[in-house]
Homo-oligomer: A and B are copies of this chain.
Amino acid sequence: MDLEARAHEEHHDALRLWLRMLTCTQLIEQRVRSRLREQFETTLPRFDLMAQLERSPEGLKMNELSRRMMVTGGNVTGITDQLEAEDLVERTAVANDRRALCIRLTDAGRKAFADMAAVHEGWIVDALAGLSEREVATLHKLLGKVKQHMNANEVTA
């Protein structure tokens, strides 16, 4: 096979992989979204925001939340408004910078999240139950390379 034909094949493989990644993610994501709605009357971005805060008990600034959730700032404001109205998170002042706000889970929020997270983890374990422990590790490692490469190429428009 000549080089060009080989390149074409490799390109096709990349595309096929991408379509499969998309399919797998959508299958799991749709299931998670509908169960979050049905069982907890919440949404994935709300769950995601609370999960970020759970991992940072000292709280996170709005722009840090925005970066981690990979959405723009206005959206974080909206979701935070909802969760604050339900007393699940709170905005607190930041020392030495009166522009910034620190968002934290409230006690009620921490408890509500713990309940959801336990069930949520079960959904994910089920979804990935077709893989051996070792295959999970391999996937994690390979996707780590993808992530790293994407982040390195961030600027390349």
Query: Quick one: copies of this chain in the complex?
Result: 2
Q: Give bound CA distance, A138 to B146, whole Å.
A: 13
Contact bitstring A96-123, B, C-beta under 8 A = 1, else 0: 0000000000000000000000000100
Binding site for B on A (CB under 8 A): 10-11, 13-18, 20-31, 70, 121, 124-131, 133, 135-140, 142-153, 156
**Sample (28) of A-B pairs whose CB atoms are under 8 Å apart:** A10-B125, A13-B137, A13-B140, A14-B125, A14-B128, A15-B124, A17-B140, A17-B143, A18-B28, A18-B127, A20-B140, A20-B143, A20-B144, A21-B28, A24-B143, A27-B70, A27-B147, A27-B151, A127-B149, A128-B149, A130-B146, A131-B145, A131-B146, A131-B149, A135-B142, A138-B142, A139-B139, A139-B143
